[in-house]
Structure 1
Amino acid sequence: MSVSRRHLLSLAAAGTALPAFAESRPVLRAPRLKPGDTLGLISPAHATYEREPFQIATEALQALGFKVKPGAHLRARHGHLAGTDAQRAEDINRFFADDGVQGLIALTGGSGGTRILPAIDYAQIRRTPKFFGGFSDLTALVNAIHQQTGLITFHSPTALSQWNGFSVEHFRALVMQAGTPLLKNPTGELGEHLVQTNDRIQTIRGGRARGRLVGGNLAVLTAMAGSAYWPDFRGAILFLEDINEYIYRVDRMLSTLRLTGALSQVAGVVLGQFTKCEPGEGYGALTLDELFDEYFLPLNVPVYRGAMIGHIRRKFTVPVGALAEIDADAGTLQLLEPAVG
């Protein structure tokens, strides 16, 4: 019997209400990563123009204990993209078919991931499930791969992210140790202040709920609306983050989620960091507080804001497709099953 099945049966025996999350397909888990494993380094979105970022990314992954195999087109360029659509998809498909590669991680984000979704070999991924991680524009691929194959993927640091102690700890716990950590912002970090001023949690609507995690970058997620790669939101825990978007654009994107029916289907919402999302020049704007209240309070599900997810220095690794419990009063996500095998 699976870990999640045992957990849910114990909850039922205790009289706890069970979630109504969707189980539309079997969930696949990649083998956990081990020191000495080889990671395929890919660039599915923006081109990288200088040599040093490739060196830094390679050294960081090696410091984590991995060998690194660069994609054949890692340094390619096609306009702002890291090669043509065919080249970027080919690197992903080759690494999933390569028995000498145990996982794939993106060099960086940017834009362009949605362009290659039809060219990904999802049948191959089902045959050879492997770790796949990245964030920002990688929202397209981590959600599409899970939707098409059932594989749990990872909204994780990219190879060029800041691999500080916090980010490394959460990455290793989920991806290398097959743990079920509690994703909780650190507390008690006062610095020179009387109270904590950074990484604070705001409860928008309290409560607990369980569901499978979907989400990521709001702009990229909404760009997938109506496609075959759009996530299944039924009974899901939705997590969102964004950067450098005027508030009226955030409003428009949340409206898209509402119009598609996605928001009405979720069991809970975790809002990460909306970094530099401010009023645009010449526009009157709602505040983010007002905007989030208007969209999420009517859902009558648990919602909290401020999770360490997004374009920030220290970040959680979040497994897309894994079963989790949100506690909006405490501002936490508890993983209820391992995300890797």
Structure 2
Amino acid sequence: MISRRTAIASLGSTALLLAMAPGSAIASRPGMPRRLRAGDTVGLVAPAGFVADRFGLEQITETIRAMGLVPKPSPHLLDRYGYLAGEDKLRAAEVTRMFEDKEVQAIFAVRGGWGCARILPHLDFDLIRANPKLLIGSSDITALHMALAARTTCPGIQGPNVAHSWSDAAWRSFRGLVFDAATPTYRNPAAGEDRLVQSQFRIRTFRPGTARGPLLGGNLSVLSALVGTPYLPDFEGAILFLEDVNEAEYRIDRMLTQLALSGILGRVAGVVFGQCTNCTNPGASFSNFTVYEVLEQHLAPLGVPAFQGAMIGHISHQISIPVGVRAEIDAAAGTIRILEPAVS
């Protein structure tokens, strides 16, 4: 858990960043929310899985207060409907209400799981478009980020859900984007290992080069399940970023094949595949394709800059990615440079 003193302190340096340039004289874009400030009220929603108990909610609200913010839980945050945090229309109403609430400056998802796609038909996108706010979260929250990118101009933040551990590196990355309107350049940290060649945090380049475009993506499983629905944005010229967890190699292959057959992979300007955590089939023989080999088969032939290994995904030190904001990647260096602030 981050301490309040750590949260309010100035950023300093972090191994995940090449630069953390604060946004000054920011030109406002349509749907651009304002940056967060200490003392702001933020909404807490559970659009997917349920919060287990009141103790879990207590830790969640403490995390928000450690950021210097005031938590405002949605009225039915502790509801449970099977493995979901309430029925679909109720969860959708909770999200819509937070966008409408004038007191709330940003919205945090407390956790992922499954269920965000089920509420998409029940969201009021006209109301959301008229009240742009950052929606912060990851994993299943990808469904909401993609729907907002498709139906509104409101950017999102792919970052830790509130129930995440929030390491110091994760907090600094998030704080720079959302509090300071920074435009950082992300590079993986040095591993600090006692060995001749680094093995941790390595970048694997499938095709070198640089590319610019809006950052669109998130969890591969969630994104691929939206193919063929009206809740995916146009990926023409985008930087596609992906990650996943607990998926066997053949499933990664299947989902990337779906993105290829649907035409999505053929339209992007570049690809960043972050971390694939626990993506190994435990019952398979050594002759199976590795995740790296699967990615190489799909990404190298695209002819666009592509690399694997960015600190995006189900890891403790995950960076925060502004969804819908323009960025530049350098696939040989393994860097992501944010070109414009996510907030004013």
TM over 0.5: yes
Q: Give the structure 2 partner of residue 64 of structure 1.
A: 67
The unaligned stretches of length 5 or more in structure 1 are 1-25
The one-character-per-residue Cα deviations of 1:281-328 (angstroms, maximum 9, x if unpaired) are 257631112111110111000011100000000011001100000100
The whole-number CA distance in structure 2 between the counterparts of 1:144 and 1:175 is 21
Of 153, 162, 165, 1:162 maps to 165
Of 77, 80, 93, 1:77 maps to 80
The whole-number CA distance in structure 2 between the counterparts of 1:217 and 1:127 is 27
The unaligned stretches of length 5 or more in structure 2 are 1-28
TM (normalized to structure 2)? 0.89
Report the secondary structure of 2:221's partner residue: helix
The whole-number CA distance in structure 1 between the counterparts of 2:30 and 2:324 is 8
TM (normalized to structure 1)? 0.90
The whole-number CA distance in structure 2 between the counterparts of 1:168 and 1:245 is 27
Q: Give the structure 2 partner of residue 18 of structure 1.
A: none
What is the CA distance between 1:231 and its match in structure 2?
A: 2.2
The one-character-per-residue Cα deviations of 1:37-96 (angstroms, maximum 9, x if unpaired) are 111000000112222221111101100110000011110000000000011111111111
1:235-314 equivalent positions in 2, closer than 5 A: 235-279=237-281, 281=283, 285-314=288-317
Asked whether the 8 Å contact 2:48–2:114 carries over to 1, the reply is: yes
Of 321, 324, 329, 1:326 maps to 329
State the one-letter code of the partner of 2:177.
Answer: L
Q: Give the structure 2 partner of residue 37 of structure 1.
A: 40
Asked whether the 8 Å contact 1:27–1:152 carries over to 2, the reply is: no
Percent sequence identity is 46
What is the CA distance between 1:175 and its match in structure 2?
A: 0.8
Q: Give the structure 1 partner of residue 186 of structure 2.
A: 183
Q: Which moved more, 1:226-235 or 1:26-35?
A: 26-35
Q: Give the structure 2 partner of residue 131 of structure 1.
A: 134
The whole-number CA distance in structure 2 between the counterparts of 1:144 and 1:332 is 27
Report the secondary structure of 2:104's partner residue: coil
What is the CA distance between 1:338 and its match in structure 2?
A: 0.7
Question: Considering only aligned residues, what root-mean-square deviation do their CA atoms show, in Å?
Answer: 1.3
Asked whether the 8 Å contact 1:96–1:129 carries over to 2, the reply is: yes
What is the CA distance between 1:197 and its match in structure 2?
A: 2.5
Asked whether the 8 Å contact 2:238–2:269 carries over to 1, the reply is: yes
The whole-number CA distance in structure 1 between the counterparts of 2:204 and 2:284 is 29
The whole-number CA distance in structure 2 between the counterparts of 1:282 and 1:314 is 29
**Length, aligned pairs only:** 315
The whole-number CA distance in structure 2 between the counterparts of 1:120 and 1:198 is 41
What is the CA distance between 1:192 and its match in structure 2?
A: 3.4
